[in-house]
């Protein structure tokens, strides 16, 4: 009987211990959750505070990047490339302004000249051409100025003065072509000189340092990049100007043929 009581007592103690341990674990779980919940905002605050300076840092603009790379490439070689680009762009802008002003509405001009022929004759037509700007009006005026010498002389005057006006429109294109050729050549020359300097420094040190070699090659290649940028930019403007000149020349030729038709029609009536 005593053994049975002792056995039951031991089982009771073990059961009580298990229940107590379970209660302790259940009580500890909310406490752990509270600690984790309290620590989570703190961790988020730390993460936000650490990430805030990174978010505030802005990426450098294209202008700043080009300025830094220009300085890294060396002023001695970058300045000639920059000069080629600046002078080339100045000529391009001047040509575009000139050609825009020279672009005349030929249909409207021909209608005015024909109306002037009907109302006041050759002198009235010359006055219309004198008061209209542009190469087409100048060609018309030179042709009408030879009206008294016959249609053949009018045609020759129009053809000859058309060549003069075309030469004026193409003025400066040779300089643009020169800058397009020189800019990348200067860039390549700067690259070659930079590579030679990099290998000279390696030879003097007696050790092929990848850092020194990479830095020298980087500086050398920057001149090539800027030279190519200048050449490509000027080439785009050059092609636009040539296309605009071709368009004006085509209008001049069509208008000259129409002028000769108007002159022959006027002579047939008189």
Output the pLDDT for position 69.
62
Q: How does DSSP classify residue 134? A: S
User: What is the enclosing helix (H) or strand (E) of 120?
Assistant: helix 106-130
Q: Nearest 5°: phi and psi at 44?
A: -65, -40
Two structure tokens written together for 241 = 């100007």
d(CA 214, CA 203): 15
Output the pLDDT for position 232.
94
Q: Nearest 5°: phi and psi at 74?
A: 100, 125
Output the pLDDT for position 74.
63
The answer to whether 219 and 76 are in contact (CB under 8 A) is no
Measure Cα distances from 115 to 111, 124, 141, 157, 263 in Å. Answer: 6, 9, 15, 22, 12
Q: How does DSSP classify residue 59? A: P
Helices H / strands E in the chain, number of each: 8, 0
Output the pLDDT for position 180.
95
d(CA 180, CA 230): 7
Q: Which residue has the tokens 């050059």?
A: 238
d(CA 144, CA 124): 10
Give pTM, 2 decimals.
0.69
pLDDT averaged over 10-residue windows placed end to end, the chain, 270 residues:
38 40 42 43 43 53 62 71 92 93 85 86 87 88 85 86 89 93 88 76 69 68 86 95 92 88 78
Two structure tokens written together for 42 = 């703190």
Output the pLDDT for position 7.
39
């Amino acid at each position: 009987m005593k053994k049975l009581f002792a056995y039951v007592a031991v089982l009771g103690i073990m059961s009580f211990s298990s229940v107590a341990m379970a209660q302790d674990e259940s009580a500890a779980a909310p406490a752990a959750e509270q600690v984790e919940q309290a620590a989570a905002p703190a961790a988020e605050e730390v993460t936000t505070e650490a990430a805030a300076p990174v978010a505030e840092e802005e990426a450098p603009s294209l202008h700043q990047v080009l300025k830094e790379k220009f300085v890294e490439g060396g002023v001695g070689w970058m300045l000639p490339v920059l000069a080629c680009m600046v002078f080339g762009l100045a000529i391009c802008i001047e040509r575009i302004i000139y050609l825009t002003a020279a672009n005349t509405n030929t249909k409207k001009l021909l209608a005015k000249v024909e109306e002037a022929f009907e109302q006041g004759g050759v002198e009235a037509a010359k006055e219309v051409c004198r008061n209209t700007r542009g190469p087409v009006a100048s060609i018309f005026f030179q042709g009408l100025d030879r009206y008294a010498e016959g249609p053949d002389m009018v045609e020759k005057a129009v053809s000859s003065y058309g060549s003069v006006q075309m030469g004026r429109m193409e003025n400066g294109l040779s300089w643009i072509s020169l800058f397009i050729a020189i800019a990348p050549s200067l860039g390549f020359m700067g690259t070659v000189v930079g590579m030679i300097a990099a290998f000279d420094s390696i030879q003097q040190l007696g050790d092929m340092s990848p850092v020194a070699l990479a830095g020298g090659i980087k500086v050398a290649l920057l001149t090539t990049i800027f030279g190519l940028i200048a050449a490509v930019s000027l080439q785009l403007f050059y092609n636009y100007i040539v296309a605009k000149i071709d368009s004006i020349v085509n209008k001049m030729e069509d208008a000259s043929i129409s002028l000769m038709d108007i002159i022959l029609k006027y002579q047939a009536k008189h």
